[in-house]
Amino acid sequence: MAFDRDILELLAASPEIRIETRRADGPAHSAIIWVVVDGEDVFVRSWLGKRARWFREVALVEAALQKALQSGEVLELACGTGLWTQHLVKQHSRVVAVDASPEAIAINRQRVDSDVVEYIVADLFTWTPPAGRFDAVFFGFWLSHVPPGHFDTFWATVRTALKPNGRVFFVDSLLEQTSTARDHEQVDESGEVRRRLNDGREFTIVKVFYEPARLEQRLADRGWEGWVHSSGQFFLYGSVTRIAGALS
Ligand SMILES: C[S@@+](CC[C@H](N)C(=O)[O-])C[C@H]1O[C@@H](n2cnc3c(N)ncnc32)[C@H](O)[C@@H]1O
């Protein structure tokens, strides 16, 4: 059953309950459940196993995204294989999804399968969005890959794309050893990680970890108001708009 936005939001905010289930002849499974009682209805969401907390935090971010970006045209930067595009199409009349990788876009197209999406293959460090077109800009696990020296240019590009009252939503990894892809080495605050491909080749990639309150302040200093939160263990996520009259 698909929960509506209000129930998802209540579930995301409800305290979690840890339970253990066991079949008479089987092993015990630990699980986390969240329960919302709404009049005569009881809504329960649960995740089983070791990754329960991770799924719980993903659900929290998804609920916040649904609440923050509700309609209109959205620009998705570094859309990848569509893990977030599939949510954006539910509420937006148009999703313009940009990524440098045609292979990732092909998977995205197959996964999302929606006429609402327009795909653009482009390098975000040189691509210029249409000015003032979008009600919202979304990027998932992209800000951490923007080199520190490109931070201001990147946010200027986001500003260019937005309508005057447009809103940004983003999600990224917290500095937590298990929050990034499995083929990353140990993570730290150096701004770089080693990445090993399936064929054994290794690369150093940009991966900047932000602390939510510091990122919120940094954005405020540059004319963005809103919030950046931690989901607990794995993710940071934020939603900001331009401060009216901000110059920078
Ligand atoms: C960590 S993935 C995130 C994908 C997706 N947003 C998600 O959360 O699943 C980063 C994405 O950035 C894309 N990418 C890397 N460099 C890029 C660039 N210079 N311009 C556009 N996209 C780029 C990659 O192809 C990849 O799809």
CA of 185 to the centre of ligand 1 (A): 19
Report long-range pairs for 146-154 (Cβ below 8 Å, ≥24 apart).
146/206, 146/208, 147/191, 147/206, 147/208, 148/191, 148/208, 150/125, 152/222, 154/124
Q: From the CB of 84, is ligand 1 less than 6 Å away?
A: yes
Contact 11, 43 (CB under 8 A): yes
Type and span of the H or E element at 99: strand 94-99
What pLDDT score was predicted for residue 204? 73
Q: Which CATH number fits domain 57-242: 3.90.25.10, 3.40.50.10490, 3.40.50.150, 3.30.70.2740?
A: 3.40.50.150
Residue bearing the bigger pLDDT, 136 or 184: 136
Q: From the CB of 125, is ligand 1 less than 6 Å away?
A: yes
Nearest ligand 1 atom to alpha carbon 104: 27
**Model pTM?**
0.84
Q: From the CB of 78, is ligand 1 less than 6 Å away?
A: yes
Tell me the two tokens of residue 185: 């080495």
What pLDDT score was predicted for residue 178? 59
Beta bridge partners of 126: none
CA of 106 to the centre of ligand 1 (A): 13
Contact 164, 218 (CB under 8 A): no
Confidence of residue 197 (pLDDT cuts 50, 70, 90): confident
CA of 223 to the centre of ligand 1 (A): 26
Q: What is the mean pLDDT of the chain?
A: 88
pLDDT > 90? residue 29: no
Nearest ligand 1 atom to alpha carbon 127: 20
C-alpha 85 chain-centroid distance: 10
Contact 153, 159 (CB under 8 A): no
Span 204-231, average pLDDT:
93
Tell me the two tokens of residue 76: 């998705």
Tell me the two tokens of residue 21: 């289930």
What pLDDT score was predicted for residue 190? 63
| Closest residue to atom 5 of ligand 1, CA basis | 80
Of 87, 94, 85, 93, nearest to 62 (Cα)? 87
Beta-carbon contacts of 94 under 8 Å, excluding residues fewer than 6 positions away, are 72, 73, 74, 116, 118
CA of 227 to the centre of ligand 1 (A): 23
Domain residue ranges of the chain, discontinuous segments joined by +: 1-50, 57-242
pLDDT > 80? residue 198: no
CA of 100 to the centre of ligand 1 (A): 7
